[in-house]
Structures are given as C-alpha cells and as structure tokens.
C-alpha cells in the first residue's frame, strides 16, 4: 500500500481553502437566484390574490343588488 508522501504545506492548504471558498461562492449565487425566483413568484401570487379578492367583492355586490331587486319587486306586488 502506498503511503502519502505529499505534505500539507501552507501553499497547498491555501489552495484547498480557496477552492472551498469558490464552491461556497457558487452556492451563494445559486441561493440568490432561487431567492429572486421566490420573490418574483410571491409578487405574482399577491397580484392574483388581489384580483381574486376584487372578483369576490364584485360578485357579492351583484348578489346583494340582485336580492334587493327581488325583494323590491315582491314588496310592490303585495
């Protein structure tokens, strides 16, 4: 079995830590991209919920006005 003859010099350690730092920088960049995607999705969902809320309010107002019309019509026939 071969034994390791290379020693861990300061230069080799520095190179290893630089590679580790580069990989962490890559992870940070990917995380920033994912976070930006979630921010965009959150904004889109907010606008869709706002549109749905407006639609529900419009439907409620239409129902109330319709019922008021029916009640008014029935009241005049009595």
28 belongs to a structural domain: yes
Please list the helix, strand and coil fractions of the chain in percent, rounded to the nearest 5, in that order: 85, 0, 15
pLDDT of 63 higher than 90 = yes
3 belongs to a structural domain: no
Question: CA-to-CA distance for 48 and 57, rounded, in angstroms?
Answer: 14
Q: Which domain holds residue 64?
A: 12-78
What would the pLDDT profile of 40-62 be if each residue is shown by its tens digit? Answer: 999 999 999 999 999 999 999 99
20 belongs to a structural domain: yes
Q: Whole-model pTM above 0.85? A: no
CA dihedral sign of residues 65, 67, 71, 73: positive
77 belongs to a structural domain: yes
What would the pLDDT profile of 5-39 be if each residue is shown by its tens digit? Answer: 567 788 889 999 999 999 999 999 999 999 999 99
6 belongs to a structural domain: no
**How many structural domains comprise the chain?**
1
* Under 8 Å between Cβ of 43 and 51: no
């Amino acid at each position: 079995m071969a034994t390791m003859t290379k020693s861990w010099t300061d230069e080799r350690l520095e190179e290893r830590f630089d590679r580790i730092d580069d990989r962490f920088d890559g992870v940070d960049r990917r995380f920033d991209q994912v976070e930006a995607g979630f921010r965009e999705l959150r904004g889109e969902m907010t606008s869709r919920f706002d549109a749905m809320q407006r639609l529900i309010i419009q439907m409620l107002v239409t129902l109330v006005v319709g019922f008021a019309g029916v009640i008014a019509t029935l009241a005049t026939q009595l």
